[in-house]
Amino acid sequence: MTEQYILSSLDHALQAMELFFEREELTAAEAARALGISRTAAFRILCTLEQRGFVTRAADGGWHLGVKLFSLGQLAQRRMVLSGAMRPLLARVAARTGETAHLAVMDGPYHVVFVDKVLGRLNLKMDTALGERRWAHQTATGKLLLSLQGRESWEQYARAADFSALTPNTLTTPEALLRELELTRARRWALDREEAEEGLTCYAAALFDGSGAAVAAISCSGPSTRLERHRALCLDALRAAAADAPL
């Protein structure tokens, strides 16, 4: 990547965070010397990080790492563990159905992110980029995970979501979303019928931890003509994988 794409202010903020690898507390003066910037600039960087919860101010005026970083680290670790644990089951779904299997988790209250996948063996396969982030209502995995939350969460989502149409089948109103979530919750599986991309259909099943909370969703995706014809096969494969999930 060329230097022209680097944001110097963000780069300095990230460098400031890296200074905590070597020290428990950091002052603006120390950050300024280490980064080669003015003390005022260093102070503003640390104040911004404090505002976002990445650092916290100590009584003596220095800064320590904030709890948000711990939370993000725990989240990253859980996602990596989840991905590693589920990969054999994703491979089993892909082998049984011939279609692409995805693993997705909620990323905040409004979005899902795809954290792992195993490509199917059939032609015209769906190949979502890992790390891709979408509004939850635009995906089968997102609709399923939303449906397993409370009604208050549904209404909060409906107030915040972007209901722009991606295809003629996209859910474009809060009312349509709430009806879909009711149906999805009742049947315990989700369907994306060409709502995010024309010609592609997706089914999803939830993964539950030991407490009964839905922590992720797995999906089977491919061309609509094949997926509609093999719905029972796809749902059976997803349910079997979910039942065997080591969570």
Could you tell me whether strands 100-107 and 214-223 are parallel, antiparallel, or unpaired per DSSP bridges? antiparallel
Question: What integer is the mean pLDDT of 185-190?
Answer: 95
Based on the domain organization, do 103 and 40 belong to the same domain? no
- Of 21, 38, 65, the one marking the end of a domain is 65
So what's the pLDDT on residue 23? 86
Q: Please give the mean pLDDT across all residues of the chain.
A: 88
So what's the pLDDT on residue 77? 58
Based on the domain organization, do 110 and 9 belong to the same domain? no
Percent of the chain with pLDDT over 90: 59
Based on the domain organization, do 139 and 102 belong to the same domain? yes
Taking the CA of residue 65 as centre, how many other CA atoms within 13 Å lie in the half-sphere pointing to its CB? Answer: 16
Whole-number Å distance between alpha carbons of 49 and 52: 5
- Which tokens is 204 given? 């999803």
Question: What integer is the mean pLDDT of 145-154?
Answer: 93
Q: How many domains does the chain have?
A: 2
pTM, whole model, 2 decimals?
0.70
Question: What integer is the mean pLDDT of 42-53?
Answer: 91
So what's the pLDDT on residue 164? 94
Range of the domain at 7: 3-65
In sequence order, what are the residues at sequence separation of 6 or more whose Cβ sits closer than 8 angstroms to the Cβ of residue 60? 25
So what's the pLDDT on residue 58? 84
Say which residue, 81 or 155, is predicted with more confidence: 155
So what's the pLDDT on residue 85? 78
Say which residue, 127 or 141, is predicted with more confidence: 141
The least confident of 8-17, 27-36, 157-166, 185-194 is: 8-17
Based on the domain organization, do 84 and 103 belong to the same domain? yes
Whole-number Å distance between alpha carbons of 113 and 105: 6
